[in-house]
Each structure stands twice: as C-alpha cells, then as structure tokens.
C-alpha cells in the first residue's frame, strides 16, 4: 500500500516543478529573442543594403578605388575602406593577441597573488574606458608622437589606428583567456610536471592547448571589437579615402558610415547601408572561419 506524501512535501514538490517549468519557458523565450534579433538585423541589413549595390553595380562598389559620394559625378568604390579595415584588424591582432595571451598566462599561472590582485582590476578598468577616451588620448598623445618619431606632416594614419585598436582588444582577450586557463584541471599540469616537464613547458604545451576554446573565444571578441570600432579610429586615422598605407590617412568601413550618415540622403545614404552590410558579412565570415578552424582542430585531437 502506497504511503501518501505529507501535505507540506507535496506542496514543495508542486512549487518546485512549477518554478522549473517557468524558468524553462523563460530560458526558451530568451533564446528565441536572441535568434529573432539576429534574423531581424540580418534581414534589415540585406533589405537596406542591396538596392544601392544593385544600382551602383557589385563590381564597381566592392572593387572601385574612389569614394566621392558628394561630388557632381559621385563615385562609390569601397575597396580602400575594405582593405583598410582588413589591414587595421590584422595589425591589431598581430600586436594585441600575443600581448593579451601572455598577460593572461602571467595572471593565471605565474604572477604572485598580490601582483595579480593589482593587475586584474587594471585590466577590467581598461575594458570600461569608453572608446571616445581611447580616441582622445590617441589624438593628443599618439598622433603627435607619430609625427615626431617618423617625421610625418600628419600623424593621423593607419599605424596610429592599429595601435589604438591593439590596446582596445586587450581586455577581452586577457579576461576570457585567463578564465579559460583557470578552468584547466590541475591534474593535467601535475601530470606534466611529474613527467619531468618544466613549468613553462607545462604552461605552453599543456595548459594553453587545453584552454584553446576559451582563448579563441577571447580572440573572436577582440576581432569583433577591432573591426566594429568607429569612434576611436575616426579620431586617429585621418578619415581620408586613401588606399591603405601605414603612414597614410585612411578611412575604415565603420568610420565611412559614421562620418557621413548624419547628412546623407538618396543613393549616398543607401550606399552607407551597403557598407554596413559588407561589414556585417565580414564579421559573420570571420566568426564562421574561426569556429570552423577550432572545430577542425578538436576533431584532429
């Protein structure tokens, strides 16, 4: 004969099950909202960006080397913007990723706890600085330094933008990479040390590969910030539609949209939406490629 549960226990079970159902519904709705937001943004970018590309011509738009949207005979070639964004992002990655990864290794595996307790808040503070402040400091400090060091007439150039972006992506890379390194099981490192490996060998041959997924996630966040930044690079890059060169004033895809959107109209405004569509596609492609490389590496392991 089955014994009935006490009334208090039955009530507790009913409440618990109800809370679980409610929370499952909340999580499902939040997930659907995120997916819907991506779909709506993607759809709007396509609808708003394609008309100008159709009118200008895909080849002329993507591979044209001249942008003169306000001229009597307007030109809408965005190749200088594309190459500038590519080289600027690559430059920031080349500088920022090694520094960020080594800093994360230092904080997670090497630093004295007291030192780490000082450095870690500094990194978090770096993440909270508005981009306009980075741009202002770059304009007041970095640009004049460029003029003095390289004997330039104008210090606003691609190199200045790369250095600013490299600093801006550091917090994302450091924070996420450190979290991933801290999550590596201690047994992995203890086994490596027991086999005779040095501490440095253990860090770079055991801990870092084991934390690869988290490190790549940090790099993806850094790349997203670098390629999507507008205000800081607008203040240090010069905003001239030149083909990219380290010491030339240039315009990024983001700054091309930001500097003209306030007064644009007609085809010019549509072309700016097309630039945003190209930028959106770049970010999606970069994320897809990094995820593909990461999953391919995991399969080989």
Q: Are residues 33 and 67 in the same domain?
A: no
Domain assignment present for residue 2? The answer is no
pLDDT value of residue 77: 92
Judgement on whether residues 107 and 148 belong to the same structural domain of the protein: yes
Question: Residue 168: CB partners within 8 Å, gap ≥ 6?
Answer: 92, 131, 134, 225, 226, 229, 232
Domain-embedded: residue 36: yes
Q: Which domain holds residue 281?
A: 63-300
Which range, of 15-24, 48-57, 141-150, averages the lowest pLDDT? Answer: 15-24
- Place 217 in a pLDDT band, splitting at 50, 70 and 90: confident
Ranges assigned E (strand) in the chain: 67-68, 75-76
Tell me what pLDDT residue 3 has. 53
pLDDT for 284: 83
Residue 297 has pLDDT above 60, yes or no: no
Instruction: Find the helix or strand (DSSP H, E) in which 223 lies.
Output: helix 212-228
Q: Measure the CA–CA gap between 215 and 108, rounded to whole angstroms.
A: 13
At 96-131, the pLDDT tens digits run 999 999 999 999 988 888 888 888 888 888 888 889
C-alpha to C-alpha distances, 107 to 94, 112, 205, 249, nearest whole angstrom = 21, 8, 17, 37
Q: How confident is the model at residue 220 (pLDDT cuts 50, 70, 90)?
A: confident
Q: What is the pLDDT of residue 299?
A: 58
CB atoms under 10 Å from CB of 256, counted, come to 27
Q: How far apart are CA 99 and CA 261, in angstroms?
A: 35
More confident residue, 268 or 301: 268
- pTM of the predicted protein model: 0.85
Please, is 241 exposed, middle or buried when counting C-beta atoms within 10 Å of its C-beta (0-12, 13-18, 19+)? buried
| Number of folded domains that form the chain | 2
Angle (CA) 93-94-97 rounded to 5° is 60
For residue 106, give the H/E element and its range: none
The answer to whether 240 and 251 have CB atoms below 8 angstroms apart is: yes
Mean local confidence (pLDDT), 124-143: 90
Phi and psi (nearest 5°) for 219? -65, -40
The reported pLDDT for the residue numbered 1 is: 44
Res. 134: pLDDT tops 90 = yes
Residues 260 and 146 in one domain: yes
Q: Say if residue 89 is in the same domain as residue 45.
A: no
């Amino acid at each position: 004969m089955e014994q009935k549960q006490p009334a208090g226990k039955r009530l507790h079970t009913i409440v618990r099950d109800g809370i679980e159902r409610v929370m499952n519904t909340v999580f499902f709705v939040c997930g659907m909202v995120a997916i819907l937001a991506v779909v709506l943004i993607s759809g709007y970018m396509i609808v708003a960006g394609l008309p100008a590309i159709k009118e200008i011509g895909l080849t002329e738009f993507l591979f044209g080397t001249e942008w003169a949207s306000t001229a009597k005979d307007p030109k809408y070639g965005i190749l200088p913007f594309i190459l500038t964004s590519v080289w600027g992002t690559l430059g920031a990655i080349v500088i920022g990723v090694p520094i960020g990864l080594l800093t994360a290794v230092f904080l997670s595996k090497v630093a004295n706890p007291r030192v780490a307790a000082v450095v870690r808040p500094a990194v978090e503070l770096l993440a909270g600085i508005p981009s306009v402040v980075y741009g202002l400091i770059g304009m007041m400090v970095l640009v004049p330094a460029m003029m003095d060091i390289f004997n330039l007439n104008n210090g606003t150039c691609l190199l200045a933008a790369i250095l600013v972006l490299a600093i801006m992506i550091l917090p994302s890379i450091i924070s996420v990479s450190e979290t991933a390194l801290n999550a590596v099981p201690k047994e992995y490192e203890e086994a490596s040390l027991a086999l005779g490996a040095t501490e440095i060998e253990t860090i770079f041959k055991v801990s870092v590969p084991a934390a690869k997924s988290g490190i790549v996630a940090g790099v993806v966040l850094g790349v997203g910030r670098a390629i999507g930044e507008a205000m800081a690079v607008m203040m240090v890059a010069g905003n001239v539609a030149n083909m990219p060169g380290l010491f030339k004033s240039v315009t990024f895809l983001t700054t091309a949209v930001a500097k003209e959107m306030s007064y644009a109209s007609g085809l010019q405004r549509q072309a700016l939406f097309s630039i945003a569509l190209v930028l959106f596609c770049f970010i999606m492609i970069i994320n897809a490629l990094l995820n593909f490389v990461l999953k391919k590496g995991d399969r080989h392991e």
